Structure 1
Amino acid sequence: MSTNTNINSSKKLNPFYDGISASIGSTVAIGILQPFDLLKIRLQGSGFAVESGASATGVKSSRPGLVSTFYSVLKNEGVSQFWRGIGPTVLASGVAWGVYMHFYESYKTAFKRFNNNGNTETVPLYQGFVAGVAAGASQVFITNPIFMIKTRMQLQVPGSESYYTGFIDGIRKTVAKEGFFGLYKGVVPALWLTFHGGIQMSTYDEMKSFFAKRSNKSVNQLSSSDIFIASSVSKFLASTMLYPFQVIKTRLQDERNIPTKDKTAVYNGTMDVAKKIYRSEGITGFYRGVIPNTLKVIPNSSITLLAYEEIRKLFISYDIGIKQQQQ
Structure 2
Amino acid sequence: MATSDFVLGGLASVGATFFTNPIEVIKTRIQLQGELAARGSYVEPYKGVLQAFVTVAKNDGMLGLQKGLVPALYFQFIINSFRLSIYTNAVDRHWMHKKNGEISFGLGLMWGAIGGVVGSYFSSPFFMIKTQLQSQAANEIAVGYQHAHTSLGSAMREIYKKGGITGLWRGSLAALPRAAVGSGAQIATFGKTKALLVEYDLVTQPTYNSFCAGLIAGSLMSVAITPPDVISTRLYNQGVDAQGRGLYYNGWLDCFFKILRTEGIYGMYKGFWANYLRIAPHSTLVLLFFDELVAVREKYDLRM
Q: Is the 8 A contact 2:121 2:173 kept in 1?
A: no
Query: Which residue is equivalent to 1:38?
Result: 25
Q: Is the 8 A contact 2:8 2:81 kept in 1?
A: yes
Query: Which residue is equivalent to 1:236?
Result: 219
How much has 1:291 moved relative to structure 2? Answer: 1.2
Q: Is the 8 A contact 2:221 2:279 kept in 1?
A: no
Further displaced range: 192-201 or 58-67: 58-67
Q: Is the 8 A contact 1:17 1:321 kept in 2?
A: no
Greater C-alpha Rg:
1
TM-score (norm 2): 0.86
Query: Which residue is equivalent to 2:181?
Result: 195
Specify which of 147, 160, 172 is matched with residue 157 of structure 2: 172
Q: Secondary structure at the match of 2:41?
A: coil
TM alignment of 1:94-133, pairs within 5 A: 94-112=77-95, 123-133=103-113
Q: Is the 8 A contact 1:25 1:304 kept in 2?
A: yes
1:70 and 2:53 equivalent? Answer: yes
CA distance 1:113–1:223, shift in 2 (3 Å): closer
TM alignment of 1:230-269, pairs within 5 A: 230-255=213-238, 257-260=239-242, 265-269=247-251
1:17 and 2:4 equivalent? Answer: yes
User: Which whole-Å deviations, capped at 9, do the CAs of 1:139-167 have from their partners, x for residues lacking one?
Assistant: 12211111111111111236996522211
How much has 1:174 moved relative to structure 2? Answer: 0.6
How much has 1:311 moved relative to structure 2? Answer: 1.1
Q: Is the 8 A contact 1:108 1:131 kept in 2?
A: no
Specify which of 13, 33, 36 is matched with residue 26 of structure 1: 13
Aligned-partner residue type, residue 81 of structure 1: G
Q: Secondary structure at the match of 1:106?
A: helix
Q: Is the 8 A contact 1:30 1:300 kept in 2?
A: yes
TM-score (norm 1): 0.81
Q: Secondary structure at the match of 1:47?
A: coil
Q: Is the 8 A contact 1:211 1:222 kept in 2?
A: no
Aligned-partner residue type, residue 187 of structure 2: M
1:286 and 2:268 equivalent? Answer: yes
CA distance 1:247–1:320, shift in 2 (3 Å): farther
Query: For the aligned residues, what is the CA RMSD?
Result: 2.9
How much has 1:243 moved relative to structure 2? Answer: 1.0
Q: Is the 8 A contact 2:226 2:275 kept in 1?
A: no
How much has 1:321 moved relative to structure 2? Answer: 11
Unaligned runs of 5+ in 2: 140-144
Identity of aligned residues (%): 25
Query: Which residue is equivalent to 1:325?
Result: none
Number of aligned residue pairs = 295
Aligned-partner residue type, residue 140 of structure 1: S
How much has 1:282 moved relative to structure 2? Answer: 1.3
How much has 1:294 moved relative to structure 2? Answer: 1.0
How much has 1:285 moved relative to structure 2? Answer: 0.7
1:181 and 2:166 equivalent? Answer: yes
Q: Is the 8 A contact 1:149 1:167 kept in 2?
A: yes
Q: How far apart are the structure 2 equivalents of 1:317 and 1:62?
A: 56
How much has 1:47 moved relative to structure 2? Answer: 2.7
Query: Which residue is equivalent to 1:276?
Result: 258
Query: Which residue is equivalent to 1:89?
Result: 72
Further displaced range: 287-296 or 158-167: 158-167
How much has 1:44 moved relative to structure 2? Answer: 1.1
CA distance 1:259–1:319, shift in 2 (3 Å): same
Specify which of 119, 127, 130 is matched with residue 150 of structure 1: 130
Q: Is the 8 A contact 2:217 2:283 kept in 1?
A: no
RCO higher in structure (CA 8 A, sep ≥6) = 1
Query: Which residue is equivalent to 1:5?
Result: none
CA distance 1:115–1:211, shift in 2 (3 Å): closer
Aligned-partner residue type, residue 293 of structure 1: N
CA distance 1:124–1:140, shift in 2 (3 Å): same
